[in-house]
A and B are shown apart, each in its own frame.
Chain A
Amino acid sequence: EDQVTQSPEALRLQEGESSSLNCSYTVSGLRGLFWYRQDPGKGPEFLFTLYSAGEEKEKERLKATLTKKESFLHITAPKPEDSATYLCAGKNNAGNMLTFGGGTRLMVKP
């Protein structure tokens, strides 16, 4: 059974303090590793898709990387508006469902 685990569960940063969020996965025949951002009471907003180990993608202050067992979401010089829950999810080679981790709740203080 596919499994995705995110750490830490919660992370408090000062504005400008860079850090990384971890996503460990056991997904049979990974067909994609996805990162989403979710604001309270709203649906997840798509950020990145990574397909193979060594791949990196960037968007503003966010950079996602992928290894054979983990993915990292690096946040450089975060701002208060980056505060949200960040979700990662894997898709296997047997279907189309996303298996999500529990999320990391990021709080950036000014």
Chain B
Amino acid sequence: DAGVTQSPTHLIKTRGQQVTLRCSPKSGHDTVSWYQQALGQGPQFIFQYYEEEERQRGNFPDRFSGHQFPNYSSELNVNALLLGDSALYLCASSSGQAETQYFGPGTRLLVL
């Protein structure tokens, strides 16, 4: 049973560029959440997608946007990258209203 997968594993970008991160949920899951984890801190909620719509959003600017596809996979897009966007970006999947979220390995983004 495949768990949550994310791509790429690592990414280096420069300020002002745009980036797209991808996530495939655990088999049988239909809900995808994205989190940002700065070094030495706990993850912070960016947004959650369910039925191809953004269901809830955290305190992140509009530069952060997302999408969910009919197969439940999801993308996180970040525009106009800032140095402070350097972090580990985590995708978590869950099933409907089930409480537990299962995390993928993350994408490490470095902005220079």
Contacts and interface: CB of A to CB of B under 8 A. Distances in A.
A58 B31 CA distance: 27
Interface stretch (A29-37, A63-71, A74-82): A29-37
- Interface size, A (range): 20 to 34
Contacts of B48: 95-97
A59 interface: no
A49 interface: yes
Contacts of A87: 42-43
A34 B100 contact: yes
Contacts of A31: 99
Given A96-B31, A96-B48, A97-B58, A45 B43 contact: no
Of the listed residues A43, A44, A45, A101, the one surrounded by the most CB atoms of chain B closer than 10 A to its CB is A43
Interface in B22-65: 31, 33, 35, 40-45, 48, 55-56, 58
Contacts of A89: 42-43
B109 to A, nearest CB: 13
B42 A43 contact: no
A67 to B, nearest CB: 19
Q: Which of A45, A95, A97 has the most CB of B within 10 A?
A: A97
A98 B105 contact: no
Interface of A: 4, 6, 31-32, 34, 36, 41-46, 49, 87, 89, 91, 95-103
16 contacts: A41-B88, A42-B105, A43-B103, A44-B43, A45-B103, A46-B100, A91-B99, A95-B48, A95-B55, A96-B31, A96-B48, A96-B94, A97-B45, A97-B58, A98-B43, A98-B45
Which A-B residue pairs are the 10 nearest by beta carbons? A100-B42, A43-B103, A97-B45, A95-B56, A32-B99, A44-B103, A43-B105, A43-B106, A102-B42, A100-B43
Interface of B: 4, 31, 33, 35, 40-45, 48, 55-56, 58, 88, 90, 92, 94, 99-106, 108
